[in-house]
Amino acid sequence: HETTFNSIMKCDVDIRKDLYGNIVLSGGSTMFPGIADRMSKEITALAPSSMKIKVVAPPERKYSVWIGGSILASLSTFQQMWIAKAE
């Protein structure tokens, strides 16, 4: 929670509201029961009281990183950045 809070606070003040309202948990370590509620509670305690905190824990979050990587790899604009074995 502190890392999330510190990351948001390092961003431009104009986008912090959007960031606090769109915290998405992903990865296998977020599968612990109650993690979303705990994260929400702890971020709420740190954030300015005027901020609306929303933490989303999608059921497929265990695989979100792989899904995102798959989508990224399939984009034609990303393929220009690939490095071939020969390079």
Give the pLDDT confidence score for residue 24 in this predicted structure: 96
Which CATH number characterizes residue 52's domain?
A: 3.30.420.40
Residue numbers of the domain that contains 35: 2-62
Instruction: Assess if residue 52 is contained within a domain.
Output: yes
Instruction: Assess if residue 45 is contained within a domain.
Output: yes
Number of domains in the chain: 1
Instruction: Assess if residue 71 is contained within a domain.
Output: no
Give the pLDDT confidence score for residue 79 in this predicted structure: 82
pLDDT tens-digit profile, the chain (87 residues): 999 999 999 999 999 999 999 999 998 899 999 999 999 999 999 999 999 999 999 999 999 889 999 999 899 888 888 888 888
- Write out the two tokens for 84: 């071939």
Instruction: Assess if residue 29 is contained within a domain.
Output: yes
Give the pLDDT confidence score for residue 8 in this predicted structure: 97
Give the pLDDT confidence score for residue 85 in this predicted structure: 87
Give Cα 31 to chain centroid, integer Å: 14
DSSP state of 52: P
Measured CA to CA, the distance from residue 69 to residue 38 in angstroms comes to: 27
